[in-house]
């Protein structure tokens, strides 16, 4: 097959060109498929620095009220603003206690929980142990060419099986609520 002078093209040359195009399209398709495997791992990235505000530290104010007397009180440095919320006191009131005295039975509950001893600083201790565990899991993970999320695989050995735990507690005579159906 020939065309204009100097542009001779054979059937074999067309087939070679088609083969190159097919390879380029397959390579592009493979790249698209690999890109689709990337996921949003921000939920499991416990070490990322968050620069935004902490939504749990913002408390809504109580509505403004007109006091019975419009005489200004004397300044009280370090005093409480009347429209600021007191979440701990409000929680104690909701549980039937008083902000001054706590909830009835608090001391009995604390005594029962602390019967086997209390580890002071347990949260910081657990945070250190978890950081060490994640460091070991990160080193053991080795090469991760596709950046797969290894959160669940790392903690799989520490996960509890809900059904077997319910059966274990029921065998011990404890009353446990029913679990949602599996599936």
- The residue range of the domain holding 24 is 8-33
Instruction: Check pLDDT > 90 for residue 172.
Output: yes
Residue 12 lies in a domain: yes
pLDDT grade, residue 45 (50/70/90)?
A: low
CB 60 within 8 A of CB 83: no
User: Residue 130's CB: how many other CB atoms inside 10 A?
Assistant: 12
User: Who contacts 93 (Cβ-Cβ below 8 Å, separation ≥6)?
Assistant: 99
Domain contains 47:
no
Q: Assess whether pLDDT exceeds 80 at residue 26.
A: yes
Mean pLDDT of the chain: 74
Does some domain include residue 38? Answer: no
The predicted pLDDT at position 171 comes to 94
Cβ count within 10 A of residue 63 = 6
State residue 132's pLDDT score: 87
Q: Is 98 helix (H, G, I), strand (E, B) or coil?
A: strand
| Ramachandran bin of 173, using left for φ above 0, alpha for ψ from -120 to 50, beta for the remaining angles | left
154 occurs within a structural domain = no
- Average pLDDT over every residue of 21-29: 85
Would residue 18 count as lying in a domain?
Answer: yes
60/8: higher pLDDT: 60
Indicate whether 6 pLDDT > 60.
no
- Arithmetic mean of pLDDT, 138-167: 75
Which pLDDT band, with edges at 50, 70 and 90, does 95 fall under? confident
**Average pLDDT over every residue of 29-45:** 65
CA 134/CA 93 separation, integer angstroms: 40
The per-residue pLDDT for 87 is 78
Question: Which pLDDT does position 102 carry in this prediction?
Answer: 67
The answer, yes or no, to whether residue 67 has pLDDT greater than 60, is yes
Number of compact structural domains in the chain: 1
> Helices (DSSP H) in the chain: which residue ranges?
11-36, 87-94, 106-113, 122-141, 151-155, 162-171
Q: How far apart are CA 83 and CA 37, in angstroms?
A: 50
In a domain, 82, yes or no: no
What's the pLDDT at 41? 58
The alpha carbon dihedral of 84, 88, 91, 93 has a sign of: negative
102 domain-assigned: no
Residue 25 falls inside a structural domain = yes
Q: Among 9, 25, 2, 37, which Cα is nearest to 148's?
A: 37
CB–CB of 96/103 below 8 Å? Answer: yes
Mean pLDDT throughout 96-125? 76
């Amino acid at each position: 097959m020939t065309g204009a002078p100097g542009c001779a093209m054979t059937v074999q040359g067309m087939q070679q060109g088609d083969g190159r195009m097919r390879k380029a399209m397959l390579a592009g398709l493979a790249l698209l498929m690999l890109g689709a495997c990337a996921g949003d791992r921000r939920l499991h990235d416990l070490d990322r620095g968050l620069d935004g505000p902490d939504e749990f530290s913002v408390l809504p104010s109580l509505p403004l009220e007109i006091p019975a007397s419009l005489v200004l009180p004397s300044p009280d440095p370090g005093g409480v603003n009347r429209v600021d919320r007191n979440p701990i006191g409000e929680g104690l009131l909701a549980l039937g206690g008083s902000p001054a005295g706590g909830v009835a039975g608090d001391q009995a509950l604390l005594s029962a929980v602390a019967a086997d001893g209390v580890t002071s600083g347990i949260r910081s201790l657990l945070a250190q142990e978890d950081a060490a565990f994640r460091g070991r899991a990160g080193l053991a993970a080795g090469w991760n060419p596709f950046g797969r999320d290894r959160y669940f695989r790392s903690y799989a050995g520490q996960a509890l099986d809900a059904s077997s735990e319910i059966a274990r507690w029921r065998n011990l005579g404890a009353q446990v609520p029913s679990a949602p159906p599996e599936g």
